[in-house]
């Protein structure tokens, strides 16, 4: 078991003022795999003060020097890949092969990209008689979720540091151990004191201080839409910048000329990744009514290939959910879907055979789902796909857009130009065309109640910068 009893504030590991501790539960065994400090308001305030004191020095550090520190962090994380992969597979439940590639490989890549961007990003440009400069927004509070813990931390902390901001990080208390490894790597990289600070604890205590404190210039939050609304309310009192990456109910639109086996397999894979614990998961598959029976048969066969089991076993395709609470939530939604008239195509609410210990749920496909049903409207955050039938292209687009969310989605068609035309009509931040792969340098974020702001590539860096115009008497 990993015992952590200190917070990382102002470049040193310090005892917290909060006296409590939080257990970290292994998703597959239900054993306690770690324990972290339950920080309090004073700990958060101390971290903010350290970040504020460090800001002037860090913001005036040349970009090339900042890039050097960030590259060291990327190298430090890469050196601890296996340790981090095993840790996150236990915390979150993602199968180990995917954990290595996604949960650790993604962060290593994104730290490296943040350094590379700094070496080519234009912080100044001439516009008429104005010199327009980009400056760091200031002290950033990063509040991150548990589903892709290290990567969601990286997508905030790396570009914020690259921009010249200082940071206070509050990771999810459900999957926090990887954040301590990051802090150790940052310490080893020699980042100046106060530039990065780690405070663990609960959202209603630490998170509320970070979101409301007048010395915090920006809050970057990823999590539930409900919590995001609360962050926005608190941040509004001091008119700080807010970036939100929230929930999703993404639609995969399978058009009548699509390669049906590829579309169904691709959609199920996009739904079940990380046991469905992905905000942009394609959890609604919209199919032509005339092809429903074919879709059903293909889906049932595809789901058979998703072997459920121990995430540390290489052959496992689908690991557990993160917690008992999440398991109860997901199985409750499956029952609700069946009560509201959905057809059970695969899976169901019962615990998988032989997996009574751990937070395992059967990969489930619900067929003939009404577009207004609960399972078609609310984010489930588990391996549950709703198949919805439509009669024509316009109806498919209308159903896809009938959501409070707008984060991800897909369109499948034998004609790429048709797929792009349909994708342009879907109100969402990303649309995969015929299973196009995820691009970590493209902007990631949502429309509507999926949030505001973007992460990834230069778009993520720009979130942490302010414009300043210097009006010159004549053009330079």
For 182-194, give one letter per residue: b (16+ CB within 10 A) or e: bbebbbebebeeb
Question: What is the biggest distance separating any 2 CA atoms in the chain, rounded to whole angstroms?
Answer: 77
CA distance 211 to 242: 9
For β-strands 241-245 and 451-452, DSSP reports them as: antiparallel
pLDDT at 18 over 90: no
Residue that the structure tokens 């998988």 belong to: 352
Q: Which residues contact 160 (CB under 8 A, 6 or more apart)?
A: 140, 142, 167, 220, 464
Q: How confident is the model at residue 2 (pLDDT cuts 50, 70, 90)?
A: very high
- Give strand pairing partners of 252: 285, 410
pLDDT tens string 87-141:
999 999 999 999 999 999 999 999 999 999 998 999 999 999 999 999 999 999 9
- Which residue out of 91, 245, 379, 463 is catalytically annotated? 245
The half-sphere exposure of 125 on its side-chain side, counting CA atoms within 13 A, is 5
For 362-373, give one letter per residue: b (16+ CB within 10 A) or e: bbbbbbbbbbeb
- Which residue out of 279, 379, 455, 463 is catalytically annotated? 279
Domains 2-246+450-470 and 250-441 share a fold: no
pLDDT tens string 288-331:
999 999 999 999 999 999 999 999 999 999 999 999 999 999 99
CA distance 238 to 305: 51
Contact between residue 199 and residue 206 where contact means Cβ atoms under 8 Å apart: yes
Higher pLDDT, 474 or 463: 463
Q: Is 45 a catalytic residue?
A: no
Q: Would the pTM count as exceeding 0.85?
A: yes
CA distance 442 to 150: 19
The pLDDT assigned to 474 comes to: 77
Class of CATH domain 2-246+450-470 = alpha beta
pLDDT tens string 434-468:
999 999 999 999 999 999 999 999 999 999 999 99
Calculate the CA 283 to chain-centre distance. Answer: 16
pLDDT tens string 253-262:
999 999 999 9
Tokens of 388: 């919805």
Q: Is the C-alpha dihedral spanning 50, 51, 53, 59 positive or negative? A: positive
Sheet holding 20-25, edge to edge: 2-3, 32-38, 20-25
Where exactly are the structural domains of the chain?
2-246+450-470, 250-441
The pLDDT assigned to 476 comes to: 56
DSSP-derived secondary structure for 118-178: HTT---EEEETTEEEEEEE--EEEEE--SSSHHHHHHHHHHHHHHHT-EEEEE--SSS-HH
Q: Is 165 a catalytic residue?
A: no
Q: Is the C-alpha dihedral spanning 109, 114, 120, 126 positive or negative? A: positive
CA distance 469 to 466: 10
Q: Is the C-alpha dihedral spanning 89, 92, 94, 95 positive or negative? A: positive
What is the pLDDT of the chain when averaged over all its residues? 97
Mean pLDDT for the stretch of residues 36-43: 98
The pLDDT assigned to 475 comes to: 60
Q: Could you say which of 3.30.1280.10, 3.40.309.10, 3.40.50.2000, 2.60.120.200 is the CATH number of the domain covering 250-441?
A: 3.40.309.10
């Amino acid at each position: 078991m990993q015992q952590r009893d200190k917070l990382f504030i102002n470049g040193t590991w310090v005892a917290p003022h909060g006296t409590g501790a939080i257990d970290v539960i292994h998703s597959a065994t239900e054993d306690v795999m770690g324990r972290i400090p339950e920080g309090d308001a004073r700990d958060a305030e101390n971290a903010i003060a350290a970040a504020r004191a460090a800001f002037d020095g860090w913001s005036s550090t040349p970009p090339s020097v900042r890039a050097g520190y960030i590259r060291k962090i990327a190298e430090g994380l890469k050196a601890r890949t296996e340790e981090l992969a095993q840790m996150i597979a236990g915390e979150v439940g993602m199968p180990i092969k995917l954990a290595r590639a996604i949960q650790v490989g993604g962060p290593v890549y994104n730290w490296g990209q943040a350094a590379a961007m700094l070496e080519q990003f234009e912080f100044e440009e001439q516009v008429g008689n104005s010199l327009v400069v980009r400056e760091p927004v200031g002290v950033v509070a990063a509040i991150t979720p548990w589903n892709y813990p290290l990567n969601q931390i990286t997508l905030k902390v790396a570009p914020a540091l690259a921009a010249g901001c200082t940071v206070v990080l509050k990771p999810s208390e459900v999957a926090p151990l990887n954040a301590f490894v990051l802090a150790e790597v940052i310490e080893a990289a020699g980042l100046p004191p106060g530039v990065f600070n780690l405070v663990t604890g609960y959202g209603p205590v630490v998170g509320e201080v970070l979101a409301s404190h007048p010395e915090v210039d920006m809050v970057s939050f990823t999590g539930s839409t409900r919590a995001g609304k609360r962050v926005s309310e608190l941040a509004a009192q001091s008119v700080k910048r807010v970036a939100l990456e929230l929930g999703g109910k993404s639609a995969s639109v399978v058009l009548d000329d699509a390669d049906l086996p590829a579309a169904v397999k691709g959609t199920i894979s996009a739904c079940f990744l990380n046991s469905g614990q992905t905000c942009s998961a394609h959890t609604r598959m919209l199919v032509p009514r005339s092809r429903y029976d074919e879709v059903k048969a293909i889906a049932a066969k595809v789901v058979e290939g998703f072997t459920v089991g121990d995430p540390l076993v290489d052959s496992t395709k689908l690991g557990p959910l993160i917690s008992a609470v999440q398991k109860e939530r997901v199985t409750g939604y499956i029952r609700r879907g069946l009560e509201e008239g959905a057809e059970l195509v695969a899976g169901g609410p019962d615990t998988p055979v032989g997996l009574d210990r751990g937070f395992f749920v059967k990969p489930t496909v619900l067929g003939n789902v009404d577009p207004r049903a609960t399972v078609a409207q609310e984010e489930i955050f588990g391996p549950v796909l709703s198949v919805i039938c439509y009669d024509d292209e316009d109806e498919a687009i209308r159903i896809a857009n009938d959501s409070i969310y707008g984060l991800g989605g897909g369109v499948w068609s034998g004609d790429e130009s048709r797929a792009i035309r349909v994708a342009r009509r879907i109100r969402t931040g990303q649309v995969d065309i015929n299973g196009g792969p995820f691009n970590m340098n493209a902007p990631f974020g949502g429309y509507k109640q999926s949030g505001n702001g973007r992460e990834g590539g230069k778009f993520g860096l720009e979130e942490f910068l302010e414009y300043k115009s210097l009006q010159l008497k004549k053009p330079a």
